[in-house]
Amino acid sequence: MTAEELVVEIKEYVKNIDKTKVYYTLRKLGHRRISDAQIEAVCIFIALQHFGLEIVGTNLFMTFYDKTRTAIHSILHLLGDRGVITLVHGRKNSQLRYVLNPKFTEQYQEQKI
């Protein structure tokens, strides 16, 4: 499988994720004012995790989230503040890397819609 085919397959998987389930998982974790952009970003993390990409850098995330770099950093920062994703500390001067919070993953898998 080529990289382009993998990207297409991941995008297709993102489209098939139940957005309602993501929304109610976020609500169950106490989040309010949940936007479509936040749900889309979380779906991308779920899909990447499904394909074995646990640690997601901003450049990889940009491949699937079709927004400006500023918007991407803003949404990742917001999701980090809300505890949905966790910043992985790495080397100095490297790009930021994130993982889906295990607490969110557990709640998402338990959520029944």
Task: Give me the domain span that covers residue 55.
Answer: 3-110
Q: What is the pLDDT of residues 62-97, one digit of tens each?
A: 999 988 989 999 999 999 999 999 998 766 666 789
The mean per-residue pLDDT over the stretch 27-33 comes to 91
Q: Which residue has the higher pLDDT, 59 or 12?
A: 12
Looking at the 3D structure of the chain, how many domains does it have? 1
CATH classification of the domain holding 86: 1.10.10.10
Strands 97-100 and 85-88: antiparallel
Question: Would you state the pLDDT for residue 62?
Answer: 92
Residue 111: the pLDDT is 82
Give dist(CA 53, CA 48) in Å, integer. Answer: 5
Tokens of 65: 């989230």
The pLDDT score that the predictor gives to residue 92 is 65
In the prediction, which pLDDT does 1 show? 82
